[in-house]
Structure 1
C-alpha cells in the first residue's frame, strides 16, 4: 500500500468515527450509566405509617430501562449531561478509527499474500491486529471518557473537566491507572473480528450482485446512492450479530474503569458480577447499546467508504 493510500484510509477512518460519535453521544452516556455498578436511580419513596404515628420511607432499588435513565439524566442533570465525555470521544475517535482502519487495510494487504486472497482468515486476523493496535494506543482516552460519563452531577453543580479527571487518575493510580479496562477491551476484539467477517462477506455478495446485474453495462465502478445504502445495511447487520455475542465485555470494561471500585481484573470482575447480580447483569444496557451502535456503525462505515471512494477518484 502506497503512502497516499495509507493516508486516505487514515483520514477516512477518522472522518467516519467522528461523525458517528457526535450523532450518537447521548445514547453512549445512557449505555455507560446502565452498565455501571453505581447507577443511582430509584422509584419514589413509599411512605408507611407506623402504630405510633411516625412515618417511615421505604426506597426500593430499581433496575432502570434506557428511557427512564434518559429521563432522569434530563431532569436531574440537564441536556448538557447527555454529551458528557464528548470531548475525549472526539479527541480519541479520529485517531482510534484512523489507526484501526489503516492497520486493518495494511494487515489485509499483507495477509492476502499469505492466505487465500480476501478469505475469512484474512478478514479475521486483520480485524484482530487492527483492534489490538487501536486499543493499546488509545485506552487512556476511553478511560477518561468513561469517568466523565459516570460523573453524575445535579444541575448547577460544577462538573469535572477532562484535565481534572486526568490529574485525579494519575494522582490516585499513577500511569497504570490509565490502562484500566484494557484486558476487557482486548476480549472485545472478538466482537470486531465477528463484525468484519460478516461485513466483508455481505459486502462481497453485494458486489457480486452488482457485477452480475451490470454485465451488459459499461463501467460498473461508479457507485450510486443504493450502493452506500447497501453498505450501511451490511454494517448494521454485521454489528448487531457481533455485539449480541460479545456484549458482556462492555459491562466488565465499564466496571473496571469505575473510580475506586472493588473490580480488579477481567475474570475477577466477571465472577463477581455474576455472583452478586446474576448472569443477566452482563447484558445491562444492551438495548441502548444496540440502538446506538447500529446507526453509529452504519454511519461510520458508510462515511469511511464514501471518503475513500471520493479521494480515490
Structure 2
C-alpha cells in the first residue's frame, strides 16, 4: 500500500460526517470494553485504601481520564465495597454475582457525554489535517501524521477543557445549574477566563506528545505490516496490531507526564470538593516532589496498569474506526458505480 492511500488522513471517498460516525462507533465500542477493567481497578484500590468523603480518584473509559469525587465515602460513589476481593478475576465474579453485570459499566453514561464528542472532534480533525498536510508537505509528507496528531489533540483538548471543569464541579458539589453558573461566573470575574482552562497545560504536556508519537508510529507500523503481508488494504488485524504497538510506545514515553497530570487533577478536584480555590502546584514542582518522595522511578509509577489499559484501548478504537471508514468508502464506491451505470443506460437509450 502506498503512503497516501494507506493513511487515515487520505480520506478520499469518505465524507467528514462518515468519519464522525466511524469514530463515534469506535468510541462507544472502546468504552464498553475498557470501562469494566477500570471499574474493577478502582474497586480494588478502594478496598486497599478506602475513599473518604471528598477524596478524588481517576476513572477512565478507554478514551479519556475523568476525575471523580466521593461524596459519602464508599457508600455513595459508583464503587461500593461489599465483601473482599482476592484479585482482578475474583472481583469481576463477585461484582457480577452481588450487584449484577451492569455494575461493571457504572459511571459510563455521564463520562460518554464528554468522551464521545472529544473523540469525534479529535479523529475527524486528524483525518482532515493529515490529508491537507500530505498535499502540501511534498517530500516531507511522511511527517504529516506527527504534526496532524499534535494539532488535532491541542484543538480537542482546548474545546473540551471548560466542559471538563463544569462536569467536575457538578460531581463534587450538589449544586443546581443556576448555582453552578453563578459560581463559575464569579470565579471568571475574580480569576479571568483562564479559569475555564485550569489543568489545560499539564493535559497538553502528556496528550500532545502521545498523539504525535501515536499517529506517526501507527502509520509507519501499518505501512510496514501491509508490505510484509503483501496486501494493498490494511486488514482489521493489521490496524489492531499497529494501534496496540503505537499506543504502547506512546504511553511509555509520556508516562511521567501522565503521573504528574493525574496528581494535579486529583489535587484540583479535592480543592473544588472542599470549595477551596487554592492554586494547584506547577508541573515542575510536582515532578520535584515526586522525585524527592520516590526517586526518579516515581515518575514511572503505574507503568504496567497504564500499558495494559492504553494498548487495547488504542487497538480497539483505531481498528473499529478504520473498519468503519472502509465500510463507508465501499458503500460510496458502490453507489457511484451504480449511478454511473444508470447514466450509461440512459445515454444508450
- With structure 2 as the length reference, what TM-score do the two structures score? 0.62
**Alignment partner, residue 55 of structure 2:** none
**Alignment partner, residue 113 of structure 1:** 135
Determine whether 1:27 maps to 2:34.
no
**C-alpha separation in 2, matches of 1:86 and 1:123:** 31
1:187-202 equivalences under 5 Å are 187-188=205-206, 189-202=208-221
**Alignment partner, residue 207 of structure 1:** 226
Contact 1:30 1:288 in 2 (8 A): no
**C-alpha separation in 2, matches of 1:139 and 1:199:** 26
**Alignment partner, residue 269 of structure 1:** 286
Alignment counterpart, residue 98 of structure 1, candidates 120, 132, 147: 120
Tell me, what secondary structure is at the counterpart of 1:119? helix
5+ residue gaps in structure 1?
A: 44-65, 152-158, 215-219
Residues 29-83 of structure 1 show CA distances to partners (whole Å, capped at 9, x for unaligned) of 5678999xxx88359xxxxxxxxxxxxxxxxxxxxxx959x79x96xx9787764
Contact 1:27 1:288 in 2 (8 A): no
**C-alpha separation in 1, matches of 2:36 and 2:212:** 26
Q: 1:146 to 1:196 in 2, by over 3 A?
A: farther
Contact 1:14 1:93 in 2 (8 A): no
Determine whether 1:18 maps to 2:28.
yes
Alignment counterpart, residue 48 of structure 2, candidates 41, 63, 71: 41
Deviation at 1:205, TM superposition (A): 1.7
Residues 104-137 of structure 1 show CA distances to partners (whole Å, capped at 9, x for unaligned) of 1111111112213683321111111111111111
5+ residue gaps in structure 2?
A: 1-10, 51-86, 272-278, 331-349
**Alignment partner, residue 137 of structure 1:** 159
**C-alpha separation in 2, matches of 1:112 and 1:146:** 39
Cα RMSD over matched residues? 4.2
**Alignment partner, residue 62 of structure 1:** none
**Alignment partner, residue 292 of structure 1:** 309
Contact 2:134 2:142 in 1 (8 A): no
**Alignment partner, residue 179 of structure 1:** 197
Tell me, what secondary structure is at the counterpart of 1:288? helix
- With structure 1 as the length reference, what TM-score do the two structures score? 0.69
Alignment counterpart, residue 254 of structure 2, candidates 246, 251, 262: 246
